[in-house]
Amino acid sequence: MSYAEQSVKEQQHGPNRNRWLILANVSLGTFMSTLDGSIANVALPNISAIMNAPLHQVQWVLTAYLLTICATLPIIGNLSDRWGRSRVYNYGFLVFVLGSIGCALSSSLAVLIMSRIFQAIGASCLMSNSQAIVAEIFTTQRGQALGIIGTVVSIGSLTGPGIGGVLVQHFGWGSIFWINVPIGIAAFIAGWFILPKTNTIKDKRSFDYFGSFLFAFGMTAFLYTFSHAEDWGWQSGRFWSLFIVSAATLVVFYFWERRIRFPMLDFSLYRIPAFAIGNVTATLSFISLSCTTVMMPFYMQNVLQFTPSLTGYVMIAYPLTMAIVAPLSGGLSDKIGSYALTTGGLVINAIGFALLTGLGLESSAWVIAFHLMVFGVGAGMFHSPNNASIMGSVPKAKLGTAGGLNALVRNIGMVLGISASVSLFSYRFGNLTDGSGSMLHLTADLAPQALRALHLVFWVAAAVCMVGAFLSAVRMKKKI
């Protein structure tokens, strides 16, 4: 059913009266699932000390969560189109709650990591269906509604360390998981009554088990390889061996999906220009913006010697600005279309990175906050209309698959952006200091060299944004 047909149907039968309540429920699920991707960061030292485990092993508390989500998003999106998006989404709350209880009660690192994997499966149920449910019930004001979801994603991702720090300090590390339990149960009960009732697919289609295995293994190996590239070395045999294995697996997966009748991942969606270009530009956007989440805290704490709390307050300028701009941009896209806004947002982000190269060794917190607000404007302008364009371009029956893929590119972009920015900084910093400098142990006399290395990262990120803006402009020119 096309967008126009859906609008006519809504005019005939009336809009879903509970759609704003549904949006609130979906926003809560989105917030919880993205928040838990970063809320455990500040708890790692406590977990390491209590469980007597080295920090590089405890790091798997974060890595396992992210990798599981990336490996399962398209699979769960496909299953949601079969079993009903609302049903899979709502039961995702229960899985997430049970995983959270397991995390909070864990007495060993192995149990904690396994519980995080279970929790991530619930988060994947929430992430893969949130945009699909919103796109289905908001046939009008779709851009505005997806703008709110985009804002929640940003706020959840960026406020995790701050909320986690308060909970860990006052209530212990288990509290960051216990807090999910009452909220998740309340959201499940509410969703049981207000979420739209979706029907399962009536034809008996076989599920692509082998394709799902290939994707899960290939994507997990691919992201694991890049997330550890800096530790292993980009030229190490370990990196290239695992990279070749992951790439070969994904190539086999592609050809397998093309030959079977009912594929797990429908590559025909990428023949829809708005869907394909929207996902590519979204990936480029998240790759570039991930540079700010890694490099800016490093710059403020290691170069400017800001306290962690001051750094956190400054970083909030980004999501707060996006919280204002994204719904406005989404609403505007409902009236004028998406493409001018997406192109303009990427150009603004490129300008923001260029402005960051003007920061020095004595920049004030207010000046830095203003610079981060530029990214809030650019990201808010881009992501809401882009999500509306992507979800509005696919058939209704495939909204779950499309939502899963859209959430997947966000996570892939973040992993690649973090890995690339850290590696690029380390490479440039090492050259400037003849190998004597370290990102983790920065001395005051090496701050100028660190700043020059940061500027290179920001210029590269600006170039990535401009590539995305060019693709978006081509989409706008062709009216796709």
pLDDT band (50, 70, 90) for residue 136:
confident
Which of 467, 269, 479, 282 shows the shortest CA–CA distance to 387? 282
Write down the pLDDT at residue 405.
Answer: 76
Helix (H, G, I), strand (E, B) or coil at 361: coil
**Mean pLDDT comparison of 44-53, 143-152, 432-441, highest-scoring range:** 44-53
The tens digit of pLDDT for each residue in 306-335 reads 876 677 778 878 878 888 888 888 778 878
End-to-end CA distance of the chain: 18
Residue 360 near residue 418, CB atoms below 8 Å: no
The tens digit of pLDDT for each residue in 201-248 reads 554 567 777 888 888 888 888 888 887 777 787 788 888 999 999 999
Write down the pLDDT at residue 301.
Answer: 76
Separation of alpha carbons 87 and 198, rounded Å:
7
Average pLDDT over the chain reads: 80
Residue 163 near residue 316, CB atoms below 8 Å: no
Write down the pLDDT at residue 97.
Answer: 94
Task: Decide if pLDDT at 249 tops 90.
Answer: yes
Write down the pLDDT at residue 16.
Answer: 59
Write down the pLDDT at residue 444.
Answer: 67
Separation of alpha carbons 271 and 264, rounded Å:
16
Residue 285 near residue 387, CB atoms below 8 Å: no
Task: Decide if pLDDT at 464 tops 50.
Answer: yes
The tens digit of pLDDT for each residue in 110-131 reads 899 899 999 999 998 888 887 7
- Say which residues have a Cβ less than 8 Å from residue 130's Cβ, sequence separation at least 6: 26, 27, 29, 30, 89, 149, 403, 407
Q: What is the dihedral of CA 422, 427, 429, 430, to 10 degrees?
A: 130
Separation of alpha carbons 378 and 349, rounded Å:
5
Mean pLDDT of 71-82: 80
Which ranges in 264-316 belong to alpha helices (H)?
A: 273-298, 308-315
Write down the pLDDT at residue 292.
Answer: 82
Task: Decide if pLDDT at 304 tops 70.
Answer: yes
Separation of alpha carbons 228 and 239, rounded Å:
8
Q: Tell me the Ramachandran region of residue 233: left when phi exceeds 0, alpha when psi lies from -120 to 50, beta otherwise.
A: left
Q: How many C-beta atoms surround the C-beta of residue 311 within 10 A? A: 20
- Say which residues have a Cβ less than 8 Å from residue 12's Cβ, sequence separation at least 6: none
The tens digit of pLDDT for each residue in 250-277 reads 899 889 888 887 777 778 888 888 888 8
Note the pTM of the prediction, 2 decimals. 0.75
Task: Decide if pLDDT at 1 tops 50.
Answer: no
What is the helix (H) or strand (E) element at residue 432, kind and residue range? helix 399-432
pLDDT band (50, 70, 90) for residue 476:
low
Write down the pLDDT at residue 199.
Answer: 58
Write down the pLDDT at residue 308.
Answer: 67
Q: What stretches of 296-443 adopt beta strand conformation (E)?
A: none
Task: Decide if pLDDT at 7 tops 50.
Answer: no
- Residue 302 has what DSSP assignment? I
Separation of alpha carbons 408 and 56, rounded Å:
25
The tens digit of pLDDT for each residue in 431-463 reads 888 766 555 556 667 788 888 889 999 999 999
- Say which residues have a Cβ less than 8 Å from residue 52's Cβ, sequence separation at least 6: none
Q: Which amino acid is at 201?
A: I
Give me the sign of the Cα torsion angle 257, 261, 265, 271.
positive
The tens digit of pLDDT for each residue in 365-399 reads 899 999 999 998 998 888 888 887 887 777 777 76
Write down the pLDDT at residue 441.
Answer: 59
> Which residue has 């279309």 as its token pair?
337
Write down the pLDDT at residue 466.
Answer: 94
The tens digit of pLDDT for each residue in 166-215 reads 787 788 888 889 988 998 899 899 888 888 776 555 545 677 778 888 88
